Amino acid sequence: MWKRRLFLSGLIASVLLGCLGCGYHLVDWSSASYATLAVKPVDGSAPTSVVRSRMRDALITRCLAGSALRPVDSEADLALHSTMSQYRENIIATDTDGRTKSVQFTFVISFELRDRQGKVIWSMRNYQYSDQYEKTTSQGAYRDEVVFLQDKALRAVADLVVTNISLAIAEHDARESSESKSEGDGGGQAEAQPDRTEEER
């Protein structure tokens, strides 16, 4: 539970580099540059429609604040597709008057990042988020407070997704630079290879 909060602290980048066993993986980066991102509506069952809409809003907001990608509604260099397969909220504790003191949110969501050709270039499948949040006031409508806490949970997931995408883009750029340098150092050998392949056929 506390791992989620620590993960979103100032050490988020270093923790992400060690989370390959937690559902994060790079698939492939083959294009030279990406400037725009279309965040598609989050798919899922009807009961979660409001939550899914706010999940999309959180992703767009985080993308604007924490990445070099510009969210657009039209055709984009990249498209982020998401599916929320499960969602639950449970009251964990109440006070002596029966008012909610803390609530736990649990949901499972998958993400795929695709290029203009529809190729999946990054994914995080069946990511399960679960954390407990404390109510900050003893007064006020229960539903309003839960919505506020719900948004905090959705922002935590959006932080995770956008940071993963940013790290993937950084790794892609580094690889492109390295490959360009290698081609410049030994371009003659690289150009001769296709001719040998044709002769072998």
pLDDT tens profile 85-129: 999 999 898 878 777 788 899 999 999 999 888 888 789 999 999
Q: What is the CATH number of the domain that holds 63?
A: 3.30.160.150
Q: Note whether residue 88 is domain-resident.
A: yes
Residue identified by tokens 């150009």 is 191
Name the nearest CA neighbour of 25 among 123, 113, 111, 118: 123
**Is the residue at 60 inside a domain?**
yes
From CA 90, how far away is CA 165, in angstroms rounded? 31
Q: How many domains does the chain have?
A: 1
pTM as predicted: 0.70
The tokens of 111 are what? 């993400």
Q: Which amino acid is at 182?
A: S
DSSP state of 140: S
State residue 97's pLDDT score. 75
pLDDT digits (tens, 9 = 90+) for 139-159: 555 667 778 889 999 999 999
Q: Would 196 be classed as within a structural domain?
A: no
User: How sure is the predictor about 178, in pLDDT bands with cuts at 50, 70 and 90?
Assistant: confident
Q: Is the pLDDT of residue 11 over 50?
A: no
Cα 145 to Cα 99, 100, 102, 129, 182, distances in angstroms: 12, 10, 10, 20, 56
Task: Grade residue 186 by pLDDT with cuts at 50, 70 and 90.
Answer: low
Per the structure, the complete domain to which residue 127 belongs is given by 2-9+22-170
State the Cα angle at 106 between 100 and 107, rounded to 5°.
Answer: 140
**DSSP conformation letters of 18-32:** T-GGGTEEE----SS
Domain assignment of residue 148, yes or no: yes
Residue 63 included in any domain: yes
* Contact of 68 with 169, CB cutoff 8 Å: yes
